[in-house]
């Protein structure tokens, strides 16, 4: 498994690309009149697909099989993208409506809430990917068993 600091740097690069995919697609769909939460679902799905393959192989250098990483990845990412992000989008949009009604509607309801939601999601994802989803195959064995194998 990749060193934590190096993985964080690669995660940031991958994050910029998959965030661009998500952010641009979300904006295009929202501005085309799609409901915000549906636009978010489609855009995050596109970013998630890219993220899985690149983070698995390049960011974390996971030695675990695709089969053993795809379900935990989907669970962690789905919670981040489809539970946490929509909650943040709705909450931030509501706060901005109340606190800054003079801001243009697209900023209040689309761009700022999505940017905040992406930030919250990035922290969530890295924490879980690094600790659980893309750990090395030999880390699947409990610490006690590993200690017993060391002479």
What's 137's DSSP letter? G
Q: Quote the tokens at residue 120.
A: 């919250």
Tokens of 134: 């893309």
Task: Residue 41: name the closest of 92, 6, 87, 86 by CA.
Answer: 86
Helices 36-54 and 85-99, axial angle in degrees (round to 10)? 130
Q: How many residues does the chain have?
A: 151
Segment 73-101 mean pLDDT: 92
Domain ranges for the chain, please list them: 4-138
pLDDT at 129 over 70: yes
Instruction: Report the C-alpha gap between 96 and 32 in whole angstroms.
Output: 22
Q: What is the pLDDT of residue 144?
A: 40
CA 8 to each of CA 14, 109, 126, 144: distance values in angstroms, whole numbers, following the listed order: 10, 30, 8, 28
pLDDT for 139 = 59
The number of angstroms, rounded, from the C-alpha of 75 to the middle of its chain's C-alpha atoms is 11
pTM exceeding the 0.85 threshold for the entire prediction = no
**What is the reported pLDDT for 138?**
61
- Residue 98 is predicted with a pLDDT of 95
Q: What is the C-alpha to C-alpha distance for residues 57 and 65, in angstroms, rounded to an integer?
A: 11
Q: What would the pLDDT profile of 107-117 be if each residue is shown by its tens digit? A: 999 899 989 99
């Amino acid at each position: 498994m990749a060193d934590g600091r190096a993985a964080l740097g690669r995660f940031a690069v991958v994050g910029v690309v998959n965030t661009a995919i998500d952010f641009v697609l979300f904006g295009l769909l929202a501005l085309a009149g799609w409901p915000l939460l549906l636009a978010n679902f489609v855009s995050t799905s596109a970013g998630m697909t890219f993220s899985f393959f690149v983070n698995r192989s390049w960011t974390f250098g996971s030695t675990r099989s695709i089969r053993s990483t795809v379900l935990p990845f989907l669970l962690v990412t789905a919670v981040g993208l489809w539970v946490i992000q929509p909650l943040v989008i709705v909450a931030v949009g509501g706060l901005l409506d109340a606190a800054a009604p003079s801001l243009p509607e697209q900023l209040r309801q689309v761009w700022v809430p999505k940017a905040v939601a992406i930030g919250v999601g990035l922290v969530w994802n890295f924490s879980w990917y690094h600790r659980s989803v893309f750990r090395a195959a030999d880390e699947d064995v409990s610490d006690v068993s590993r200690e017993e194998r060391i002479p």
